[in-house]
Structure 1
Amino acid sequence: MSDNISYQMPFGAELETGGKVRFRLWAPGGNTVDVCLYDGSKEKKLTMAAAADSWFEITTTSATPGTYYRFCIDGDHCVPDPASRFQPEDVHGPSEVIDPSSWRWQDAHWMGRPWEETVVYELHVGSFTPEGNFAGVMGKLDYLRDLGVTAIELMPVADFPGKHNWGYDGAYLFAPDSRYGRPDDLKALIDAAHARNLMVFLDVVYNHFGPEGNYLHLYAPQFFTEKHRTPWGAAINFDDEYSHWVRQFFIHNALYWLKEYHIDGLRLDAVHAILDDSQPDILTELAQRVQTAFPSERHIHLILENDHNAAHYLERDAGHKPCAYAAQWNDDIHHALHVITTGETGGYYMDYAQNPILHLGRCLAEGFAYQGDCSPYRNGEPRGEPSRHLPPTAFVSFLQNHDQVGNRAFGERIQALASPQQIHAAAAILLLAPSPPLLFMGEEWGSCQPFPFFCDFGTELADAVVNGRREEFARFPEFSNPDARARIPNPMEESTFQRAVLNWLDCDRPEHASWLTLYRELLALRHRYIVPCLPGLIQQPAAFSQLGGHGLKVSWILADNTQLSLIANLGDEVLSGCSFSPWKLLYATHSTSCGLNDIDVLPPWSVIWYLSKGAA
């Protein structure tokens, strides 16, 4: 890669030769647009020329890197740049002209890592360390490398309102939030990660804008359409009149992060809420544009969160490479394991209440549990598409993530809901199965800290957010009365955020250090024995069977005809009548079941892995 990359976009503030800056804004709802430049207390207003297709533009020598600016619409509303590269004074403040070439990259030889090597570590920049910024994350990179993860996934960093936010309320999708650092601070983190052979993935939100700080409705209401409705109101306009430049806005955002910031992959949030009837739809076009921009020189990975289980986005080509998206977060495997370990069957867990072992087996062997099957939670509607023909690498598995922890009323982690034996068994399954695993920050040391929902909106939204959060849980029996709902943490309070900030002192305590040792051991086994067998997989040559009420056996044929087998007892009773493999023992949770072939019982919550090279 070049040591100096600036991604040129058709909008926003772009540096040009000769000390000039070009400003460009798409404003189909405006009649006139000025750019207002700020130098201390001085303001300079320049009229932008109207151009074809509702564009306004000007190139001037009156602005330089560091200049603050706003766009003034019809002489009335002064708004930040929707393509701002930085918002130094938050979402309502001016944008800043940024020189993308100011950072001197040190990763010229970095080409990324193959998808098969992926072990994801999801983290929230603001609560991952006490510093709560990019520099704090950078200070933990050696730890993450030594843990055995190969990619850090940053929850969204796009500029959001207030001091704290999960990141899914971003208003300026091209601007790293100023509380985390300046653009060069994010680039420094990425550079340092690459120096340690770590990929960096970024969570991006293309299904809505946050409720505060977005001014598009004032001058570009065509960015939205009433043709579709979403949980956030009118949908982003991907398929109605004027949709061309809306689509380009998001496609350029993806390319911007990948090129200008050397990001290795994007996780697209909740794409089931992206409503688009056009052909190709925005997800397909975006993937095609990324593939065209990076034909072969770098490993770039696109990942979906998609409640629809739309397997067609995950297809592989004749060369075994993803046609569009490398993988999808597999909620099915989390939900099945959660029901098995906790016994919870409310809400969407009801879909897995009947025989969760069967759902788990299907996930491990075939990808999705719901492949067009009727969903009780969705009133019997079919959910998903067939996925058995896809390789296990197309499905990211996890026991915890920000959603499955933080969307609980109190943000409890699995440690508060299941026993150590149950968690050990679940971790042993996920970290050694062929599908790429994901860890949520602190999981590897058994952190007991909650990760509650937190935000910091202005006064106009504060009460609505608090009341809305509590009303979300009104349909649950345990929160049926107002007093119970009042105990749900207030997401606007500073103390709610502080509860989520990881206490790294816990990592060294004996009860947590043992978990860290376990996770390091399992990941080391994964990298040594499993990862070398994953390249070239094009489908799921796997089989599973249920053993009694709580037992499970799964076998995979991996590359080079290697066979991987799992036997698990995920119940409280001893499981008898098991037949153990004569192959090499890879891992066992219980020393009493260490591959002795004359033993036909499995203790409660035990897991055994076997590996055979070149099995027939």
Structure 2
Amino acid sequence: MTDERRQTAFTPTYGAHLIDTDRTRFVLWAPSARAVHIEVEGQPSKAMQTTCDGHYEAEVTCGHRARYRYRVFGKEDEEGTLVPDPASRAQHGDIDGPSLVIDPLRYQWRHADWRGRPWHEAVLYELHIGTLGGFDGVRQKLAYLADLGVTAIELMPVAEFPGERNWGYDGVLPYAVEAAYGSPDDMKALIDAAHAQGLMVFLDVVYNHFGPDGNYLATYADAFFRDDLQTPWGPSIDFRAPQVRRYFIDNALLWLQEYRLDGLRFDAVHAISERDFLIEMAREIRHHVDPRRHVHLVLENEGNTASLLDADHYTAQWSDDWHNVMHVLLTGEHEGYYSDFVEDATAKLVRCLSEGFIYQGERSRHGHVRGEPSAHLPANAFVIFLQNHDQVGNRALGERLSLLADPDALAAASVLLLLSPMVPLLFMGEEWGSTRPFLFFTEHREELADAVREGRRSEFADFSAFRDEATRRRIPDPNALQTFEASVPDYEVRDTPPHDDWLDRTRTLLRLRHREIVPRSTGARSLGAEALGEKAVVARWRMNDGSRLTIALNLSNREVPAREIADGRCLFESRPGVAVSVSEGRLLPHGAAVWLDGEEVIP
């Protein structure tokens, strides 16, 4: 008998869908194919019926964990090509292996009444599942993270990729959970356990490209891609096609509905040519997800398109501007994309703290106009970070800021990160000042591995430290096992000097954030910022109870004048005497202090 729950469960348009325990319906969009057969293990090949607009469907007697593939026939192809399901929920083996029928209702949720947490409570912790030992390994860290003061874990992509080691951005089967991390039910168990700890779970999803190995879509659906537009990763996905839009919108809904995730972070949406697709996707998600749930949609968008954060489309955006100018001020680096933030860096930080984006229509180093006005947005429309997978891992040697910046200056910067009303993100290991690198790693087949290794090294040829062949050879081979192993976080040192002091400071700041900042932060607005000197600023925000939050920051190695900036109760000082020194008209080197003035009342 058909399970009655299946009549109300979310069902994506494409893929394998259980009708009952031993019967499955398959749907594939293959407009370039002459014919398509479904091949289920142990059964004769079955021709699928074409319906409309290149869709093929079939019903087959099989159930949970049945292995299957499609055989697609081109116009003059007599034997056909075996391909995995592009909407596969799981693979047997790797990307080229059979797809698996998965029963989405098999997992019994223990915390089905979880509704999430409001966005203003978010403290994000970005992590790579593979380096932590898969879904089960991450689950072992949840109690520690909740005690630290984290309220949400952000998972780097889980979509099936080639091999067992990868950042996840080379995924080719967006619906399939990477087998090296665990099964779909293992992922659900992680999410369930996180909810038990009061932690939200976010997932990074990649809709702007597919990886270079294992993507068969062009074989039978050439309309999936454009031939007139290229991205850094190959032909642009054609979001003008309604079937393509449906494929990705359903994928987002799958993660939010079937896996009960609390939010998604959409990778590099500036590489998606049709902006109206982003609006359509947000509207469909808001329409289909239970409005009683707190579900948050976050963008990575080099375009700084502030209007996408209006009208309840998207909750927030990763603030690369904030990171880049802070990195320049902390390290003095000026090459690559940091060159856009070197000139008048202190003034750029002032603008970022006052108005959100630094680039709001100005031209970048490449001459491109970038950004829209953002001063009208609330502070928590911006996710800020000192480190993340990109900003550490895209360095040639994967160095963390703990090796690049003065430790006192970095400690002061962490005060601004964790106590402003913007939403903070920590990268795994940052909380104890880890010095372990996070490198770019893959496990590609030999020919592609060679190309990736040489391509990786050539990327840094214009950097002064890697201009000659000998120095470029120092860049770790992404495909080498030791590159992955070197990137595993050193949790074992977090309670040893000097890491224990870093960890205590992070815990103290997050407790202070939850006690003093979070209850006042919904709708917090900037009251402006000003430079106190080179690498030194003061910023203020009007909180939702009418109080005024003030943060003074000096990243330089010199005292700076700081008259009449201390307002109200001192919440925190990064170095002993900072607050006293401010009252004397100076801010100490590498210092930060935070005040809350609660005397004013909302008019």
Instruction: Identify the TM-score tier after normalising by the shorter chain.
Output: over 0.9
Q: 1:230 Cα shift?
A: 0.8
Question: Which runs of structure 2 are paired with 1:567-582 in the superposition (5 Å)?
Answer: 567-582=552-567
Q: 1:355 Cα shift?
A: 2.1
User: Pick from 366, 370, 388: which aligns with 1:378?
Assistant: 366
**Aligned counterpart, 2:72:** 73
Matched-pair contact (CA < 8 Å) for 2:581–2:587:
no
Question: Aligned in 2, Cα 1:394/1:582: closer, same or farther, shift over 3 Å?
Answer: closer
Q: 1:398 Cα shift?
A: 0.2
Q: 1:598 Cα shift?
A: 4.1
- Residue type of the alignment partner of 2:284: R
Question: Which runs of structure 2 are paired with 1:115-130 in the superposition (5 Å)?
Answer: 115-127=119-131, 129=132
- Residue type of the alignment partner of 1:385: E
Matched-pair contact (CA < 8 Å) for 1:3–1:105:
no
- Residue type of the alignment partner of 2:323: H
Matched, 1:299 2:297: no
- Structure 2 Cα separation of the partners of residues 614 and 54 of structure 1: 66
Structure 1 unaligned blocks of 5 or more: 318-322
Matched, 1:213 2:208: no
**Aligned counterpart, 1:442:** 429
- Residue type of the alignment partner of 2:100: E
Matched-pair contact (CA < 8 Å) for 2:581–2:588:
no
Question: Aligned in 2, Cα 1:56/1:610: closer, same or farther, shift over 3 Å?
Answer: same
**Aligned counterpart, 1:262:** 260
Question: Aligned in 2, Cα 1:577/1:445: closer, same or farther, shift over 3 Å?
Answer: closer
**Aligned counterpart, 1:525:** 512
Question: Which runs of structure 2 are paired with 1:27-176 in the superposition (5 Å)?
Answer: 27-38=30-41, 42-61=42-61, 63-74=62-73, 75-127=79-131, 129=132, 132-176=133-177
**Aligned counterpart, 1:273:** 271
- Structure 2 Cα separation of the partners of residues 189 and 461 of structure 1: 33
- Structure 2 Cα separation of the partners of residues 504 and 430 of structure 1: 22
**Worse overlay, 71-80 or 201-210:** 71-80
Matched, 1:340 2:343: no
**Worse overlay, 327-336 or 586-595:** 586-595
Q: 1:577 Cα shift?
A: 4.5
- Residue type of the alignment partner of 1:335: N
Q: 1:550 Cα shift?
A: 3.0
**Aligned counterpart, 2:461:** 474
**Worse overlay, 358-367 or 263-272:** 358-367
SS at match of 1:267: strand
SS at match of 1:33: strand
Matched-pair contact (CA < 8 Å) for 1:82–1:172:
yes
- Structure 2 Cα separation of the partners of residues 412 and 110 of structure 1: 38
Matched-pair contact (CA < 8 Å) for 1:24–1:56:
yes
- Residue type of the alignment partner of 1:559: N
* TM-score, normalised by the number of residues in structure 2: 0.96
User: Pick from 318, 324, 341: which aligns with 2:313?
Assistant: 324
Question: Aligned in 2, Cα 1:577/1:82: closer, same or farther, shift over 3 Å?
Answer: closer
User: Pick from 348, 355, 363: which aligns with 1:359?
Assistant: 348
Structure 2 unaligned blocks of 5 or more: 74-78
Matched-pair contact (CA < 8 Å) for 1:364–1:433:
no
**Aligned counterpart, 2:76:** none
Give the aligned length: 592
SS at match of 1:71: strand
Q: 1:536 Cα shift?
A: 3.8
- Structure 1 Cα separation of the partners of residues 578 and 501 of structure 2: 21
Question: Aligned in 2, Cα 1:532/1:592: closer, same or farther, shift over 3 Å?
Answer: same
- Residue type of the alignment partner of 1:200: V
Matched, 1:203 2:197: no
- Structure 2 Cα separation of the partners of residues 465 and 550 of structure 1: 38
SS at match of 2:522: coil
Question: Aligned in 2, Cα 1:458/1:43: closer, same or farther, shift over 3 Å?
Answer: farther
Question: Aligned in 2, Cα 1:3/1:9: closer, same or farther, shift over 3 Å?
Answer: closer
**Worse overlay, 249-258 or 5-14:** 5-14
**Aligned counterpart, 1:585:** 570
Question: Which runs of structure 2 are paired with 1:421-436 in the superposition (5 Å)?
Answer: 421-436=408-423
Matched-pair contact (CA < 8 Å) for 2:316–2:381:
yes
**Aligned counterpart, 1:320:** none
**Worse overlay, 14-23 or 453-462:** 14-23
Matched, 1:284 2:285: no
- Structure 2 Cα separation of the partners of residues 202 and 553 of structure 1: 34
- Residue type of the alignment partner of 2:307: H
Note the alpha carbon deviations across 1:373-404, whole angstroms, 9 max, x for none. 222x223x321110000001000000000000
Matched-pair contact (CA < 8 Å) for 2:380–2:522:
no
Matched-pair contact (CA < 8 Å) for 2:155–2:202:
yes
Q: 1:228 Cα shift?
A: 1.8
- Structure 2 Cα separation of the partners of residues 416 and 337 of structure 1: 15
Q: 1:255 Cα shift?
A: 0.2
